Structure 1
Amino acid sequence: MMTQERLKRCHRPIAQRIIVRGTLILDTPTCLGSGDADSPTDIALLRDSVSDRALLTGSSIAGALRNYLREYQHGYGVEEQKGDRATNLFGGTRRDPEGEQSPLIINDAISSTIPTVELRDGVAIESTTGTAKKGQKYDLELLAAGTEFQLSFELLIEKNLSQTQKQALINLLALALRGLEQGDISIGMKKRRGFGRCYVKEWQVWNFYLEDPDERMVWLKFEHWSRDLLPDRETYSSIATALGVSLENEKDERDRFLIHATFQLVGSLLIRSGQDSTERAPDVVHLKSHRQGELKSVLSGTSLAGVLRHRAERIVNTLQGNLAVVNELFGFVDGKQSQASRLVVRETEIEAAKDLVQNRIAIDRFTGGAYHGALFDEQPIFGGDETRVCIELELRNPKDYEIGLLLLLLKDLWTSDLPVGGESSIGRGRLKGINADLIRLHPQNPKQWQIRQINGNLQIEDISDSSKSETLVKYDLEQFVKALLKELGKEV
């Protein structure tokens, strides 16, 4: 039941309104599903019914901001509680019938232009056979990287708030929007497989003090229907500067383990993208995506995650361990039970790769001759000395044995033992390690290691403690692998 105080309350006396606008730019393809069951694709893009432009709903933005703020202040996996700071900005939860209304208004955002749409397909893989599961293929529409949205927020500050409460509310808004500014917040579906990465490049802020009659008139005449930045208005690259606040005392409580590794492509790589739209296109071409207005070869997060999961299961099975270790890391769906992946796999662009069409033919294994009508051609990408493949992984709320499993996966990638993409049986997808940064972003004890391949020698360094010898650094990293063996019931 609502309290008598809330029942008596009939209005909110607003003393100040702060309007914030920003330009959001997509870094990677983004899936904003419409839920249309009659669409020719399984997951269709959500569009504005009037302009036919892509639509990013205010509820999606609010959910992403609220989730980021909760994780930043309490860490991953912690449910929001009554009285948390996030409720001051976003209002009460559904489980709190007496929760306050949100003082933050978030408008729907429409893409600046008619969007460029990419079609991607995917399939579930049977872990035991390594082949596609029957009836598990799907396709989806994605917004291309580079698509821009004009965001608009309005913060309502009530008259009865103290100066401290008012400042705390503005600080919360700045903290949440800084997550968008720095690219820490992804939007849309399949965010943990590289989709939906974005950032805000510039901000504009308006302050209206409604207790002043002249300010009220200015606010009434303001173009609220528009979302665009005004050319004669000062723009800011930092939302904290735009709002005039300092966020230096805000502590990040998220616990993360990051791997940023760079590899050289040995030979060729082929991640199937389906048939090209041109008449003379090869039967199979490597996956490409829009980057800076051009089609670039990419290593997709979905493909890499599938490869890593399959090898992780093989490692655990070899050690006769429980596959629950893998399921907790990569997520699972089992009937009505499911768990999201705690491992975020980014989609990255492949640098300085070359396309080359190859003609192939299927061979009859019985006769040793060619199958009739089985000639086909493919267009993989080939690597040279300058070709670079970057892999970015982020494990949230990591346990030591999970870090150990990721280090074993990194070792297999580094030594060309774990190919990525398709047709690995004919030598495609082999990588050779060049350098890697291992970063443990722990709230109390952050650490960073560097691995370098120099003149055929592997060098490992503890960046957070340069006084350690390489032997001690190797020993520290070996403890993670020993933790994995202990978790799987093996004596160390």
Structure 2
Amino acid sequence: MTMKPNRRGRPMDRRLRLRGLLETTSPLHVGGIAADPAEVLPVAVDGRERLYVPGTSLAGAFRAWMEGADTTGEKLQDFWGFVKENQPNSGRASRVVVRDAPIASRTEEGEDGGPAHPLEVADLGIRDGVGIDRVTGAAAPGFLYARTVVPPGFYLFLELDIEVEGGDLERDRARLAALIAALRDERVRLGASGSKGLGKVRLLDERLDVREHDFTTRDGLLAFVRDMPEQGVPSDASKADLPDRREVLTVELAWRPTAPVMVRDGREGAAVKTLPLTTRVGPDEVALTLPGSSIKGALRSHAEFVERTACGVDAPDARGNGTDADDFSRAFRAQLDQLDAVRALFGTARTDEASATPNVAGHPEHRWGSAALTVEDCVSTVTLAPSTWEKVVGAAPEEGDGDNDRPVLDPATRAELAGKGMDQADHVAIDRWTGGAAEHLLFNVLEPHGVTWRPVRLEIDLTRLGDYRDSALALLLIVLRDMRDGLVPLGGMVTRGFGDIEVGSVALAGARWESLDEALADGELAVAWERYWSCSMGETS
């Protein structure tokens, strides 16, 4: 009589192993431990002091993409694991093992299989942000934040295993193929602030290595020991049996500036104090940048203007609710959470009062959470060498006598910037009594007056909009129409002559329309928008 072997541990007949490189195509932030809450949010660092993305963060992003429109996760519980609520001994562990991914500046491997050239902290950028009070139009107290980011053009060393048991081999092969296709097409976003343009990565084909280990046969075990497993496992991603995909509408706006357009860098230059924000778009290039957060803020501000006007709702004044930071914070969050269609599109802060019950106007309450609208960073078409930009940030002092020395841009650097469409502009404050120049109030800005930009790209997760799908989409189309009509400036200093743009075309993909005019003429959206704001007016009257 033959007896079945007494197998211990997790059952595994085969193993699919993926190794490859993920290239960052937008800035990336995965948070680490900050020594001081007031400091810039750092990027995670592993035990060897290398910048990295934890396997937990990667696994969460991969799982979220695979689950698609399924918010329960039940269909992939056998794959990603699960634990039943209030039943800690139930469920099972994930069959997907995702290792930490160190970040490198180049693609070469070291002797240990990790990066031979780990990314240095000095190569990281910083993204600043501030909340704008809806009443004063100035910075909201307590809502200044900054985070370090990994710039585009750097590499994550990815390693992933899928442990296969029983008859799941073909399905697991297909699931891995589907994930690989999504990573190639930049459909999986990593880290924080994904709706503000961060976290896009692309899987590179040239270093992709997929292998299959067979532990059920003698030949398979010997192949594994000799590191000669089957390579390039073919599979059909259509057989992955994944949940329904999320519906996504993409919008691309071709535009050009009619005035200088820029977002101010948090750093000051030595010769030119106010500099445009830049992003390294690779080891050897720097481009001017309009962050997704800035563009999204401009769109949200105009969307609130439209909805408040249509519904007759004023923003609550945060200044009349106390003087400490907690009072200002609560009042500011109340401004953000006041408009249902806006927060369905642009996201909302977490509040304990959020629920799924209908409000007075009959609208279902939209739970707190991530935005349905994602706005990518927009970068200039012209680029500079990092060495040139370092000259701008830290210019040499002008020859002179002692304390009168001041840094200036050298003629060659200034000529190179002028050829790229940028030049120094000087401004002075006027003394209100003498009518002359005020002392010590000379300002200068490196104005990008002739810079051309890549299109603005938006993605709208229609699935996330839920019951607000038609009304929120109608609101966004109104904002895009006004943007096309020149009513939505971009960037900073828009009250000082900056930010005016001209939109050339608006292309839509992923929905039943192909142009903005076609979408604006949709009668169903018009009815949904009118019903929405008429109910809101009834609630506030």
Alignment match, 2:494: 424
Partner deviation per Cα, 1:93-147 (whole Å, 9 max, x = no partner): 4536422222221111111333220012111111222210123212211111111
Question: Which of 93, 110, 114 is matched with 2:102 structurally?
Answer: 110
TM-score (norm 2): 0.73
Residue equivalent to 1:332: 348
Quote the Cα distance in structure 1 between the aligned partners of 2:266 and 2:228: 46
Which of these residues, 377, 388, 396, is aligned with residue 453 of structure 2? 388
Residue 288 (structure 1) aligns with: 278
Deviation at 1:9, TM superposition (A): 8.3
**Which residue of structure 2 lines up, in the alignment, with residue 58 of structure 1?**
55
**2:484 corresponds to:** 414
Kindly state the Cα deviation for residue 423 of structure 1 after the two structures are TM-superposed.
1.2
Equivalent residue pairs, number: 428
| 117 and 311 in structure 1: CA distance in 2 versus 1, 3 angstrom threshold | same
Q: 1:360 to 1:259 in 2, by over 3 A?
A: same
Q: CA RMSD in A?
A: 2.7
Higher strand share: 1
Question: Are the equivalent residues in 1 in contact too, given 2:103–2:154 (CA < 8 A)?
Answer: yes
Partner Cα distance (1:153, 1:375) in 2:
56
CA positional deviation for 1:342: 1.5
Report what 1:142 is aligned to: 149
Aligned pair in 2 of structure 1 residues 409, 243: CA closer, same or farther (>3 Å)? farther
Given the superposition, is the C-alpha separation of residues 475 and 12 from structure 1 closer, same or farther in structure 2, using an over 3 Å criterion?
A: closer
Unaligned 5+ runs, structure 2: 1-5, 105-116, 314-338, 355-367, 383-419
Q: Secondary structure at the match of 1:269?
A: coil
Q: SS of the residue aligned with 2:73?
A: coil
Q: 1:204/1:378 Cα in 2 relative to 1: closer, same or farther (>3 Å)?
A: same
Summarize the Cα distance change of 1:365–1:314 in structure 2 as closer, same or farther, 3 Å threshold: farther
Please say if residues 405 and 481 of structure 1, whose CA atoms lie closer than 8 Å, have aligned partners that are also in contact: no
Distance 2:233 2:57 in 1: 23
Partner of 1:467: none
Deviations 1:358-384 (A, max 9, x none): 111123456543322110111131236
Shift of 1:221: 4.8
CA shift for structure 1 position 354: 2.0
The alpha-carbon distance between structure 1 residues 89 and 269, as it changes in their structure 2 partners (threshold 3 A), is same
> Is 1:68–2:68 an aligned residue pair?
no
Counterpart Cα distance in 2 of 1:157 and 1:388: 48
Q: Distance in 2 between matches of 1:117 and 1:349?
A: 17
Name the SS for the 2:237 alignment partner.
coil
Deviation track 1:303-327 (CA, whole Å, cap 9, x = no partner) reads 1111111111111111125622212
Could you tell me how far apart the structure 2 residues matched to 1:26 and 1:80 are?
28
* 1:34-433 equivalence runs, <5 A: 34-38=32-36, 41-50=39-48, 52-71=49-68, 74=69, 78-81=71-74, 84=75, 86-93=76-83, 95=85, 97=88, 98-112=90-104, 113-115=117-119, 116-158=123-165, 161-162=166-167, 165-202=168-205, 203-222=208-227, 242-248=232-238, 252-276=244-268, 279-280=270-271, 282-293=272-283, 294-321=285-312, 323-333=339-349, 335-336=351-352, 337=354, 338-352=368-382, 354-365=421-432, 368-383=435-450, 387-397=452-462, 398=465, 399-433=469-503
Question: When you count helix as a share of all residues, which structure comes out higher?
Answer: 2
TM-score w.r.t. the length of structure 1 is 0.80
Residues 321/481 of structure 1: CA separation in 2 closer, same or farther (3 Å cut): farther
The answer to whether the 8 A contact 2:174-2:238 is kept is no
Kept in 1: contact 2:175–2:237 (CA 8 A): no
Distance 1:120 1:265 in 2: 23
Q: Name the CA distance, whole Å, in 2 between partners of 1:211 and 1:248.
A: 27
- 1:488 aligned residue: 533
Q: After the TM superposition, which of the residue ranges 140-149 and 89-98 deviates more from structure 2? A: 89-98
Give the match's secondary structure for 1:114: coil
1:30 match: secondary structure = coil
CA contact (8 A) 1:90 1:101 kept: yes
Paired letter, 1:302: S
Q: Distance in 1 between matches of 2:520 and 2:506?
A: 18
Gaps of 5+ in 1: 1-7, 225-232, 235-241, 452-459, 461-472
Local SS of the residue matching 1:318: helix
Q: Secondary structure at the match of 1:120?
A: strand
Determine helix, strand or coil for the equivalent of 2:60.
Answer: helix
Q: Name the CA distance, whole Å, in 1 between partners of 2:227 and 2:84.
A: 33
Contact 1:89 1:103 in 2 (8 A): yes
**Aligned CA distance change for structure 1 residues 448 and 486 (closer, same or farther; 3 Å):** same
